[in-house]
Structure formats: structure tokens, C-alpha cells
Structure 1
Amino acid sequence: MVHAVVLGAAGGIGQPVSLLLKTNPIITKLSLFDIVNTPGVAADLSHISTPAVVTGYLPPDDGLKKTLEGAEIVVIPAGVPRKPGINAGIVRDLATAIATTAPKAFILVISNPVNSTVPIVAEVLKKHNVYDPKRLFGVTTLDIVRASTFLAEVNGDVTAAPTVTVPVLGGHSGVTILPILSQAQPSLSKNLDQAAIEALTKRIQFGGDEVVKAKDGAGSATLSMAYAGAEFAAKILKAVKGEEVITQSYVSLDACTEGGKKVAQEIGTPLEFFSVSVKLGPNGIEKILPLGDLNEYEKGLLKAAIPELQESITKGVNFISTSKL
């Protein structure tokens, strides 16, 4: 029995991520919450012949509490695209409900800006004395998915994308996204010159802008983000079942003291949160892995990312005490 929850389930990301979670055979109960339309989304999904029993809730009659009762994994895509100030308040309120109703759940934050919303969730959990950094994740999987896809395209074989892996570290916006192309597996099959590497890096970092432009400003990345969110949720569920899973996620470096200290040394600046390679297990993060060897270009990317990451983290932390982001 696995009880999964989606908060913001009627939105542009929420609906497709709920659909994908419904198709995951490990999930046996799927509870959905949003401020509108959730019963309809739940009714629609409930007709799909997979194990999960789906229920949709609205705010009245303690709907959020009912959604979260007994939750083991909570996915949060709630919010307004590219509206950080609004999303901060939404995430704060949802985190409060999780802290009081499902404090042991794995929390997967999709709501942007992830670099700030994850620290917001952490601060709320700390205030309720239920913070476990091993169970809080910022979902950066879309950056990894894009890196694999774009590199496969550059190499001339997009069909190979599922077998291409590129570690993506740092954060989850613009220059904080650090594709470590030197560690790609398999290794770059073409001898890309520096200009091509820089162009590929920029495309990975600003892939979201590509989607916004293609949608003529009428939306952002929703379907690909939903896919990435469901993929990361599947990794968590596999780890809970005992499989060894290594992936990247934006997490607290306090989740693993030894590994976190090592990464902090590699970064050269104390940061509470960073997207790193993590080994997942039944209780969440078992190990934080080192950044590994970076070439000079990648070291420059890291140096450029640190100030923006620090500012975003500080904004998230301060929001809980000042109500401003």
C-alpha cells in the first residue's frame, strides 16, 4: 500500500503528473487537492484500470487535511507559472498542512522557484519540529531529462536519449543549473568544440524559455515537467522498496553530514541547499555524493551560480519571518 498525494492537482502540471502517478502500479491510493476542479479530475482518473484509488478534495470541510492524512509521498506542483511571490505563500501554507498532518511523508517540491521554495518548506517544518532533510526534495529532474535529450540530439541520435545520462548540479533556474557534460555517460560521441559545449549548456539552462516562446507566452513547461516529476516520484518509490537509486535533486546538504561537508568543500562556499547526486534508500537520502572532477569551464559555471543560489536560499528562509520574497 502506497498513498501518494498531489497538491495543485488541477493545474497545468498537476493534471498530467496525477495521470502519470495513476499509471504507477506501486501506488494504491492517490489523493488530489486543489482550490478548484479536483473532484472532476479525480473522477476522470478513477476510470483508468490501474490499482490506485483516486479521491479529489477541495478546501472546504478540511479538504487539505483529508487529502494528506496517511500520505507517504507528497508532490507539490501548486502555484502560478513564473509568479515567485505568489508561489511562496502557497507553498508555505501547504508545507504547514504537511507538517501538521503528514510530517513523515517524502516531500517533492516542483513549485517554482525551487531554489527558494524548498528552503521555505524546510523552515516551516523546522518551526513545527518535524524537519527531516533526508525526506525533502526539490525536483530538478527536468534539467536532467533536457540534458539527456539535447545531448542525444547534438550527437545525432535522439533515439539514444533514454540511455544518455548527464549529471546536472547546482540549482533549478538559469545560471544555477550546472550540466556537467564532462561526466556524461556515454562520453560525448562527437568532439564538440568549446562553442558547441557552451551553446548546449545554455540551452539546458534556459530550456524553459524555449517552451514559453513556443507557446507564444501562453504557458510554460507543463507536460515535460509532469513527466520529470513522475519520474522522480518513481525513483523515490523504488528506493523505498529496496532498490538502489542514484539521481540528482536539490536537497539540504545537512541530509548527510559526511557527504554534505565534502560537497561544501568542493563548492568552496557554505550553502545549505544544492542540487547534488544522492543515493536514495527506504528512509530517503542515504548518501550525498561528491561533485567529482569538473573541467575549468564547469568550475566557472559553478562560481557564477553560487551568488544567485545564495540569494535565492536567503529569500526563501527570510520569507517565513518577513512574509516577503
Structure 2
Amino acid sequence: MNPLNVFSKAKILWVSVLDSSRILTYTVGTRISHRGYAKKSSDDCRRACVDIPPDVDPVCPLPCERRKKKKESILHKIKLKIVEGGTNFGTPFRNLQCKDKVCKEVEVPEQKALEAPIKKMPSLPPPRPGVQVAVLGADTNLGQYIALLLKQCPCIKKLRLYEPTDTKSSECTRDLCNVVQDLQHIDTNCLVEAYSCTCNDLERCLQNSNIVLMLDSACVSTHMPLEKRFECQAPAVKQYADIIAKECPNAFIIVCTSPIDCMVPLIAETLKETGWYNPRKLLGSLAVPEMRASTLAARALCLEPCYVHVPCVGGTEGLSLVPLFSKALEYFDFSEQNAELMTQTVRCAPITVGRCDGQCNKSAELSEAHALAGLVTKVAWALLCKDVPRVSGFVEIDATQVISPTRFIGVNVLLSNKGICDTIAIPHLHPRELKLMDLAITNIQINEDIAINWYQEHMNAERETCKIVAKTDFNYPKKYLTLEKCNPCS
């Protein structure tokens, strides 16, 4: 057989087989991918049956809430291609409708108003520490001026004013209670209270006090001699010291009762007897003469008083007071004549002002109130550990530091929360000031002896009185004449 014929027959056979497979594939593919179309009279467009939306149910126009939208997947796409008959992938799509149940209207909740935002309250600052000050002798104009200045001090939380005598007989024309009510209107945190001797309020006034300020009584005049002033005020000062030892033994005592040179030793002896004497908490005021000396030196030098400071040493008044004008300004010395004139002016300032005012018991009350209020403020800040101020005061000195026949002398001291923490030694003095200092120490010694002698006589008189009372009460019993007088209920 010819091989060409065989090849041509084989070729014809394979061509026929391939043609039959194409016809079979085409018929199967057309049957599977055939999609039915529907015509509508009003719509010429032909769409797939699956794309035609279902009829709207008149009972339930909304779809059922239970129907959930499914995420499209490969099976979902295959189902879209199947129109007739069932397959392994499931049945064609159907629109699930709720025919038996009536759709309920969805109730939309009412919107509630939002709550007001809560404001953050600022945290309150901690309470500011303060001290309690008792002013003894506040029935005078000087005491009221000091109370007005101390009411404005932020470091004082309570201010107690005590009148040792009846206000009607004093020089002040206003009742102390009215003054306190007037001071309460000042917008500061300090509380002001009034106490009177008529109600025996001295113990209540001194209770838990941190600073005690002793002032002159209303019956004392600047023209009175030293011995007479001391005899007038010594009993009251002795009573103050006794009550201080009972009610506030740790209080800082500032003595402004003239004569200060005599009152400070008297208070020291009284506190020693009670066992509560602390030399660090007892100070005689030198603020007034120091203020006058500094102001006078500043005017003489044509400078502001804040740049000039004249320390005062020795005593507190008269010949015992020695202002050190040589230390007023560095590298400057007054002439001897000018220094003597200014020293005499400072010593005689209370009497000079009293003559200008006419017939008056007290003089220079406004300037004294300013100086004493500044001293009390410095002591208060020192007790609160806010500052270590340097002040001049009449205090008990250490015999190892200053060789002097007197126990008390006016020097510069440093204050702290424990009282007087350090005593500054007297600086190198001018020869003129050295002579004045020798005379001042002699006068201080005389004033100290006056106070100690009076205290010993007073104590001896009290002991004699106690002995007489004891003999009368216990050694000599009463003799009752009748039985009715023995009955305590009769």
C-alpha cells in the first residue's frame, strides 16, 4: 500500500474526530451558559430574570428584619449563573417575605439631653500657719493703733486685746468692744477678740498665746519720774508674769512697759520663781529709739531711711540709752558736736513731743505703734521659721561674751523659731560713745537694783500675809456662842 494514501486517510480521520468534539463542546457550553430573558410590553430592554426585582408585598412593604446581607463569595457568583433546575450548589435565589406577620413600626427613642459637664473644683490651698498675739494694755490709743497695724499682718491668725482697767476711766473715749467690731471689717484673715479685767479674762486672753506684748497703762505719763512710773505699773506686770507662767509659759514676751530697764529684770525674777524662765523668750523693746535715731541720721545725711541704720545699745531711755551714730553709715562719722546734739534729741524725744501736744499723758503714739508693730511682725516671722531677723533688744547677756556688772543690756540679737538664737557683741565704739556707755551701765545697774529690791519686798510681804492667814485659819479655831451658828446650813 502506498504510504501517502495511508497518511491522507489518517489525516481525514483525525479531522473528523476534532470536528465532532468541537460540536459537542459548543452544545454543552451553550446549554450551560444560556440565560432566560423576559419581555415586557412597557419595557423594550431585556434583563435577566434574576435582575428583575420581586413584587412588593402590600402587607409588608419592607423586607424582613431577619434577612441579613451576606458577603459575596464564589458560591454566590455561581448561583447567579444558574437559572433552571437544581444543582449541587443549591436552588436559585428566592425573595423571602413575611406573609403571616405584620411588620411593626420601629420606635425611635427620644433623644435625652446631655448632662451638664462636671466642673473640676480647684484644690484648696493648705491653711497658712500663723501665730497668736496677746496685747496687754490695749485700752489706750497706742494699743488700738498697734491692733490696727497687726490686723494687717498675714502671719498673725489671732489677735487678743486686753484692757487692764475700766475703759470709762481711761484716756480712750471708745469702748474696746466697739474697736474690735470695727477692726473685724478689715478684709484680712486675722481674728480680733476683746477681753476685760472686769470679767477676769486675763487667763483666757493669755491662753495658748505665742507672743505677748506688754504696753503702758493709761494712768502713766511721760513727765512722771522713773521711780513713780515703776511703782504704778510693777504690780500689774508682776500679775502678767504669774499668769503667763500658768497659761503660756513658752510664749515670747516683748516688754514695752516703761521703764523697760526695770520691768525686764522684774519679769525674769518672777518667772524664775515659777520655774518657767527662758532668757531666749524675753526681750525689752528698743524699736522706738532705734527708729528715731535712724530717721534723724537719714535726714542729716539727706538719704532715704532704708539705707541708714543706727543701732542702740545700753538701756532703753534717758542716760542709759546710747545710739551709735558712728555706725549709721559705713566710712562716715558725724562730727562730735552733731553726734552729741542728735543723741540728746533722741533721748528727749518723748518729752519734746509731749510738750507740742499740750497736756497729754502719752505722746508720739503713732510712731511708737509703727515701730512696735514692726518688731512684733519680725518676731512672728522668726517663730514661723520664715526669716532670721536682726533686731535690737534689752536682753539678758552671757557673762562670757560681755564683761559687765549688769545682767541685762541692750544689744543686737538674731531671732529664730526658738527665740533669741544669737547675741551680737557690741562693736568697736567711738571714744565719745565709750564714755556714754560707761555712764549707761551705771544707770542700768541702778534700775536693776530698784526692780530686784521691790520684788524682794513684795515677796516678803506676801509671805508675811500667808503666815498670818495660816495662823488665823488653823491655829485659832472660831468659837461659836450658840448651836445654830455651828450649823453650816443656817
Residue 148 of structure 2 corresponds to 19
Partner of 1:249: 393
Q: Counterparts in 2 of 1:147-162, with a 5 A limit?
A: 147-157=293-303, 160-162=304-306
Q: Secondary structure at the match of 2:401?
A: helix
* Higher RCO (CA-CA < 8 Å; seq separation 6+): 1
Distance 1:192 1:101 in 2: 49
Unpaired segments ≥5 residues, structure 2? 1-129, 168-174, 223-228, 460-490
Which stretch shifts more, 209-218 or 195-204? 209-218
- Work out the CA distance in 2 between the residues paired with 1:212 and 1:187: 36
Paired position in structure 2 for 1:208? 350
Post-superposition shift, 1:62? 3.2
- Which is further off, 37-46 or 275-284? 37-46
For residues 267 and 221 of structure 2, the distance between their equivalents in structure 1, rounded to whole angstroms, comes to 18
Q: Is 1:178 matched up with 2:322?
A: yes
- Secondary structure at 2:400's aligned position in 1? helix
* Structure 1 position 40, deviation (Å): 2.2
Which residue does 2:162 correspond to in 1? 33
CA deviation vs aligned residue, 1:239-261 (integer Å, no higher than 9, x gap): 122212111100111xxx4xx52
| 2:184/2:192 contact within 8 Å kept | yes
Q: Identity of aligned pairs, percent? A: 30
Tell me which residue corresponds to 2:400: 261
State the Cα deviation string for residues 228-284 of structure 1 (Å, max 9, x = none): 11111111112122212111100111xxx4xx5222x2xxx3211101111111111
The correspondence of residues 282-293 of structure 1 with structure 2, limited to 5 A, is 282-293=417-428
User: SS of 2:197's equivalent?
Assistant: coil
1:233 aligns with 2:376: yes
Q: CA RMSD in A?
A: 1.6
The SS at the match of 2:395 is strand
Q: Does 1:49 align with 2:184?
A: no
State how 1:113-132 maps to structure 2 within 5 Å.
Answer: 113-132=259-278
Give the secondary-structure state (helix, strand or coil) at the position aligned to 2:138. coil
Q: 1:145 aligns with which of 273, 280, 291?
A: 291
User: Distance between the aligned counterparts of 1:114 and 1:166, measured in 2?
Assistant: 20
The answer as to whether partners of 1:7 and 1:33 remain within 8 angstroms in 2 is: yes
Q: Deviations over 1:112-144 (max 9, x none)?
A: 000001111111111111111100111110011
**AA matched with 1:212:** G
In 2, Cα distance between equivalents of 1:89 and 1:123: 14
With structure 2 as the length reference, what TM-score do the two structures score? 0.61
**Counterparts in 2 of 1:269-280, with a 5 A limit?**
269-280=404-415
Q: Is it true that 1:318 corresponds to 2:453 in the alignment? A: yes
Letter in 1 for 2:423: I
Of 421, 425, 443, 1:308 maps to 443
Give me the whole-angstrom Cα distance separating, in 2, the residues matched to 1:262 and 1:137: 18
Shift of residue 57, structure 1, vs aligned partner = 0.8
Question: Do 2:326 and 2:334's aligned partners in 1 also have CA atoms closer than 8 Å?
Answer: no
Which of 197, 201, 209 is matched with 1:59 structurally? Answer: 197
Q: How far apart, CA to CA, are the structure 1 residues paired with 2:409 and 2:153?
A: 29
Distance in 1 (CA, whole Å) between partners of 2:204 and 2:364 is 30
| Aligned-partner Cα distance in 2 for 1:101–1:87 | 21
Taking structure 1 as reference, are residues 233 and 315 closer, same or farther at Cα in structure 2, changes over 3 Å only? same
Structure 1 match to 2:211: 73
Q: 1:43 to 1:155 in 2, by over 3 A?
A: same
Please report how far the alpha carbon of residue 186 of structure 1 lies from its aligned counterpart in structure 2 after TM superposition: 4.7
Q: Deviations over 1:138-193 (max 9, x none)?
A: 11100110011000111134xx01221111001111111111111123554xx632
Instruction: Return 223-232 or 213-222, whichever deviates more.
Output: 213-222
Distance change in 2, residues 1:81/1:96 (3 Å): farther
- 1:221 deviates by 2.7
Q: Is the 8 A contact 1:164 1:186 kept in 2?
A: no
Does 1:108 pair with 2:235?
no
Alpha-carbon distance in structure 2 between the residues aligned to 1:214 and 1:96: 38
- Structure index of larger Rg: 2
| 2:282 aligned to which of 136, 151, 161 | 136
Equivalent residues of 1:147, 1:179 under 8 A apart = yes
1:22–1:45 CA contact under 8 A, matched in 2: yes
Counterpart of 1:279, as a letter, is L
Question: What TM-score does the superposition give when structure 1 sets the normalisation length?
Answer: 0.91
- Cα-to-partner distance string for 1:91-128 (whole Å, 9 max, x where unaligned): 11112211211111101111100000111111111111
Are the equivalent residues in 2 in contact too, given 1:78–1:90 (CA < 8 A)? Answer: no
Give the residue type in structure 1 aligned to 2:407: E
Distance between the aligned counterparts of 2:277 and 2:141, measured in 1? 29
Cα pair 1:118 1:137 within 8 Å, conserved: yes
Instruction: State the partner residue of 2:244.
Output: 98
**What CA distance in whole angstroms lies between the structure 1 residues aligned with 2:342 and 2:457?**
39
Higher helix proportion (structure 1 or 2): 1
Please name the residue that 1:4 is paired with: 133
Q: Residues 48, 186 of structure 1: CA spacing in aligned structure 2 closer, same or farther, 3 A cutoff?
A: farther
Flag the 1:81–1:162 CA change in 2: closer, same or farther, 3 A.
farther
Q: Hey, what's the Cα distance between the residues in 2 that align with 1:101 and 1:118?
A: 19
* Runs of at least 5 residues in structure 1 that lack an aligned partner in the other structure: none
Q: Distance in 2 between matches of 1:49 and 1:66?
A: 25
Count of aligned pairs: 311
Distance 1:197 1:176 in 2: 16
**Letter paired with 2:323:** P
Letter in 2 for 1:272: R
